[in-house]
Amino acid sequence: MKALKWIFLIAGLALFAISFKLPAIKEIAKPGATGNTLYGFNCAALALRLPWGKEGMTFFHSEPVTYFAVLISGWINPVFVLGLLVLLIRPGSRLNWLFRLLIPLMFVACWIVFQKIHFYAYTGFYAWMCGILMAMFSDLWVKRPAAVRIAES
């Protein structure tokens, strides 16, 4: 069963990495026009960089909800890496559950951004999200003996 944990972890990380090269979001185009497409790497870089520049501060004052949604969206990847480190270094830690709860909640910020800027999620976004979830929940595939589960409680 431990092998299954590593298979899900590696598959999740591979999916996460591949997602940066895939189209992640597409603009909702008007009839007769083609919408813009942003790839995963561009989305991640933009969401991480946008809130901190001059444009970000203007955005903060004009649309604070969208500003914070972009800010939170930009933090998903660093929080995921931190959560993954905690998962690998301290597998039985209760802190893992904090990351397992926090990261899916942070995904909501992405949907707020999509709605506000008139984009929709595309292949890369779903691959990215699935990769993160597969990696973060990979250790739940390992069955622990009942005595260990009771001792951890």
How many whole angstroms from its chain centre is CA 153?
Answer: 29
pLDDT along the chain (153 residues), means of 10: 84 96 88 81 92 85 91 96 93 89 95 91 96 92 58 55
Determine how many CB atoms are found less than 10 A away from the CB of residue 140. 11
Question: pLDDT at position 153, please?
Answer: 55
Question: pLDDT at position 98, please?
Answer: 93
The model's pTM: 0.84
- Kindly state the tokens that stand for 116: 């506000």
Question: pLDDT at position 57, please?
Answer: 86
Question: pLDDT at position 144, please?
Answer: 60
Question: pLDDT at position 21, please?
Answer: 97
